[in-house]
Homo-oligomer: A and B are copies of this chain.
Amino acid sequence: MTNPLDTTSDHRPGGGYTARVRVQVRAELAERGYEGLTTEGVATRAEVHRAMVYRCWRDAGGLLIDVIDAAGEIDWQPPNTGLLRGNLTALNQEIQESPVVRPSLAVALMAASFHSERTARAQTRLWADWYARCEILVERAVGCGGLDARHTDARSLLIAATAPLHHQLVLLRADPDPRLPKRAAETAVLAAAAGAFTVHREESV
A: which residues have CB within 8 A of B?
33-35, 110-111, 113-115, 120-121, 123-124, 127-128, 156, 159-160, 162-164, 166-168, 170-174, 179, 183-184, 186-188, 190-191, 193-197, 203
Q: Across the interface, which residues of B come within 8 angstroms of A172, CB to CB?
A: 124, 127-128
**Nearest residue, chain B, Cβ from A172:** B127
A35-B167 contact, Cβ under 8 Å, with A172-B127, A191-B190, A196-B186: no
**Nearest residue, chain B, Cβ from A109:** B171
Q: Add 17 more A-B contacts to A120-B173, A163-B166, A190-B195 (CB < 8 A).
A: A110-B170, A110-B171, A121-B173, A123-B173, A124-B174, A127-B171, A128-B172, A159-B164, A163-B163, A163-B164, A166-B171, A167-B167, A183-B196, A190-B190, A190-B196, A191-B196, A194-B194
CB–CB B114/A35 < 8 A: yes
**Nearest residue, chain B, Cβ from A194:** B190
A190–B146 CA distance with the chains assembled, in angstroms: 14
| Partner among B173, B194, B203 whose Cβ is within 8 Å of the Cβ of A113 | B173
CB–CB A171/B170 < 8 A: yes
Q: Across the interface, which residues of B come within 8 angstroms of A203, CB to CB?
A: 179
